[in-house]
Amino acid sequence: MKNNGFCGMLGICAKAGAVASGAFAAEKAIKTGTARLVIVAADAAENTKADYERLCESRDIPFLMYADKETLGKAIGKGERTVIAITEKGLADSLRLKMT
């Protein structure tokens, strides 16, 4: 799994106020159209991964699986997080580039 500053970029997103973290906030961002990228922890339950992937596909929102819950949470200065939605397009694009 490539890092290339991915976690640091997540921290920048959080400081910019461009993160909806946690299941409820991320789902709301997806359904209201404010999510530009959704990141789900690789160690999330299979049903959770499938549900968010399906939800993102239905709304044409990019979807990534990355790291584990603890790493995602630490990257944004919080406790464990299963899902994070990035709400700013430029930051979301930068994160997607970091994954390639």
Output the pLDDT for position 4: 59
**Residues 14-24: pLDDT tens digits?**
999 999 999 99
Domain residues of the chain, as ranges? 6-98
Residue 90 CB-half CA count within 13 A = 2
Is residue 55 within 8 A of residue 48, CB to CB? The reply is: no
Q: Where are the beta strands (DSSP E) in the chain?
A: 19-21, 37-41, 63-66, 83-86
Q: With 80 as the cut, is the pLDDT of residue 2 above it?
A: no
Q: How far apart are the C-alpha atoms of 100 and 70, rounded to whole Å?
A: 22
**Topology of the domain covering 6-98:** 60s Ribosomal Protein L30; Chain: A; (3.30.1330)
Cα 70 from chain centroid (whole Å)? 13
**Residues 23-71: pLDDT tens digits?**
999 999 999 999 999 999 999 999 999 999 999 999 999 999 999 999 9
